[in-house]
Amino acid sequence: MALFRRGKGTDSTPDPAPGPEDEVGANPSGDTELEDVETVEASRSFQPFAGLTDPADVTDHDAYVNLGALWIKGEPGLQLQLEVNEETQQIVGVGALLGQTAIQLNVYAAPRTLGMWPEIRAEIAGKVAEAGGSHELVQGPFGTELRALLPAPGPGGSTVMAPVRFVGIDGPRWFLRASINGLGAVDPDAAPEVDALIASCVVDRGSEPMAPREVLPLTLPAGVEELADEPATADAAAATPAAKSTDDLNPFERGPEITEVR
């Protein structure tokens, strides 16, 4: 059901903001190309997304891969790669390979009453623009998502545009970010399977106080063998997202490039 591999990370822990959980983790970027500051501020007061299952409501625990703060529902052929901070050996994220789609999942502590996603997607949009890419906001199954095209090296020294979907879900005192590369980022027929995987996730926030943007603790499931760093096949290597440094929620690690969908 799930094949585990270990990915390398650098400083994979976002800088936590000082102050209690009712404060915002960082200031908005002020990038008016995508969203002006007033729009970001107005959307911070939020109702937590109700689509993800609460841990207390899970009845079939065997259906999930329990990674501590994040539970992922098992699917046939699903492969998971753990993203590890090499300095602390803390698991800070999970890469899921589903067919020809790679999904990077990261989960963070969040304020009690303020949503983080408007602020974070404005930051990501600014980074996309700085890299020479393009972006747009669309309404998806989880609310507003950011879709981007990022320049990346192609064959023969050419430059191709790599499509990426960025999804953010504000929950009760937690925030889940998904970065989607590959077929699920461009093919409407592949997107429902990817969206269903994200929607089936369970976030176990815990009760301990944590600063906004602090990585929620992830653990290797008991009894699961952790494999070597190398992907099992060349196809998996091409589609599995690179281990990320999430100190600034950096979206710029190269993913699969798609120039045509048939």
Give me the residue label for tokens 């461009």. Answer: 186
Written as six digits, the tokens of 44 are 């911070």
Structure confidence at residue 47 (pLDDT): 52
pTM score above 0.75: no
CA distance 100 to 90: 28
At residue 227 the predicted structure's pLDDT band, cuts being 50, 70 and 90, is: very low
Calculate the dihedral angle through the C-alpha atoms of 42, 141, 189, 167, rounding to the nearest 10 degrees. Answer: 50
Beta partners for 22?
none
Lowest mean pLDDT among 104-113, 167-176, 252-261: 252-261
Give me the residue label for tokens 């065997």. Answer: 62
pLDDT digits 0-9 by tens, 188-208: 999 999 999 999 999 999 989
Residue 22 and residue 112 in contact, taking contact as beta carbons nearer than 8 Å: yes
- Across all residues in the chain, what is the average pLDDT? 74
* 3-state SS class at 93: strand
**Mean pLDDT value across residues 9-30:** 36
